[in-house]
Structure 1
Amino acid sequence: MNTHSMSVLGLTSAEEDVYRHFLRNPGTPEGGAPGALPEEREGGVWAVARLRELRLLHGDDAHTWAVDPVVAVPRLAGERLDSAHRTMRQLVDVRPILRSLRLERPASGDAARGEGAAALSRLEDLREVRARVGQLDFGARSEVLAADPGDASAPERAGYARHLDLGRLSTTVRVRILVRATALADAGSLDRLRHLHRGGAAVRVADGLSETVLVYDRHAALVPIDARDTGRGALYTEESGLVSSLVGLFERLWSGATDFAGLVTADTEQVARLTDTQRLVLTAMCAVSKDETGARQARMSLRTYRRHISDVMRLLGACNRAQAALLARERGWV
């Protein structure tokens, strides 16, 4: 008898022996299979039934063949991996089990205080934030919402959505990402957004986005401890009221944002020349979110600054500032 090596694929030694029997004896009667197990004839009958259930044998009682190993082995391996992956996801996030078990305890002041303390936790080290995002990525089952106004010029203050890893997410998870228009003017940010979009994420651009939010499956969320400096860490919550409010905020921002796909596929073949002043204004527009700040950087009045922005948008053929920033970047104007 051959060495048994298919147990890792979920087959018993009896099932493997019968499968190998039909590989050696293709087209033979099914009744001959128990002969592969002379000491366990009944075991052979059960093995044949199990192999048919696993779609490893085909044909009828009179003529039975084993499915080609080139087809059978990868399929069995894939099914085992899928099963293992589902189990790992359940083990990575044991919080639903803990919540269920806590409900079994008598209600008391101490228990109530313990529940409240667990509703909100501080992650003051960015390594903790990245680790939590990675854990949540792996455990996500249906949806990820991310609003990321991350400052490209200050990576340490980037939004937590930048730690998203689509490779750790199941293909059944829907990902929606909101970014600020200035992200389109940064080469690294633009490449990352294209990568996320190609990977299946829905991406939209909001001109004045300032909120940093990351929500998983509408039951867990991350927000900055300090909205002005995300490098200080994050608050993590599973409190349903807070999470619902954050989901509502995200949905409102999403409804008013511009589709990234439409910006990327816009026509960019028109060529135009910018004056030095227009180039200065364009650079300021792509770097800051407020016109007042941009006008100060360009050393001109707010009215003049906005007039130059209108001229630049017309030259670019852009319908909004997000599109203008993207087109300017693609043409090498900033």
Structure 2
Amino acid sequence: MHGNDMDVFGVSPLEERVYRHFLRHPESAVEGALVALGVEQRALDRAVARLVELRLLRPGDRPECMCPTDPEMAVARLTELRLRDVYQEVQRLTQSRHVLAGLRAESSAASAEGGMAGGFGGESGVEELDGKEELRSRMEDLAFFAREEIVSVEPGVDLMSTRVGQARALEWRALRRGVRRRLVVPPEALRHAPVAGYLRELLARGGQVRVAAQMSDQVAVYDRRVALMPQDPKNIEHGALLVRGRALVSTLLGLFEKVWDQAEDVAVELREPGGERGPELSEPELRVLRMMCEVSKDETGARDLGVSVRTYRRHIADVMRRLGASTRAQAALLARERGWL
């Protein structure tokens, strides 16, 4: 039995049970889920409608049947939707300073009347950081004082390359103190010489690096209590939000963990140049590989190649075996590294 693993994405226990049912029984009738799960018709209809809205399910070839979305694509979409909600919540917090002004006015009035003013210390939950220098200074402080763990998702290779020198000095000191370091990067990072060199050294010093083809927006969490996220979701250099508070930081950390779990280890991808490349693929295998990377649905790829879905999936499994890949995302990464795509 599974717990409600997908609750971090706002998916209810019943919705998760229904999605898992259709993963086990793709292209099956909704009526079959009613019997298998033992739920009321109305509750099942609501769950199916929500999963269709989230694009985790879609109608099958027959009207009464449903097809599940591939889990990797489903988690990537749910992560994107959840991050969008978090960003909107943070933006609402940063735009609510008029509340603080009103409360301070009340406090000032109490002070003028002889009351106890200024007795409510503490930091705001969200702080805006404007400009590169302020951001760089705060990142240095957070890395310097980290004692347990630094985790981050870095989708921008160009931005990473400008910070490699600075990051080395900060992170090597943190690693020497026993701080755990986990980092998720996009596939392009493995082909960018300065960034790849930094990643190799990070691994050699005890850090952990994984690669994800589907990246969430940039975020970094320090010691599970402070998070940095960009005001522009794709570029932290345009200004950042420093987030404190258990609820928001826990949500961001939970999203990182989902991305981390779905990402691939880079032990093979970051091997030194000149290692074993394995056998070349035949032209039919290359066509299957390209189709796998270009289309999101197996049905579409099978139709374009003129084969059945079952045959198409068998070809993909054969290609993955030839590449030594455990997932389609890893197969795409290995193929791009070898210049086959």
- Please say which structure displays the higher CA radius of gyration: 1
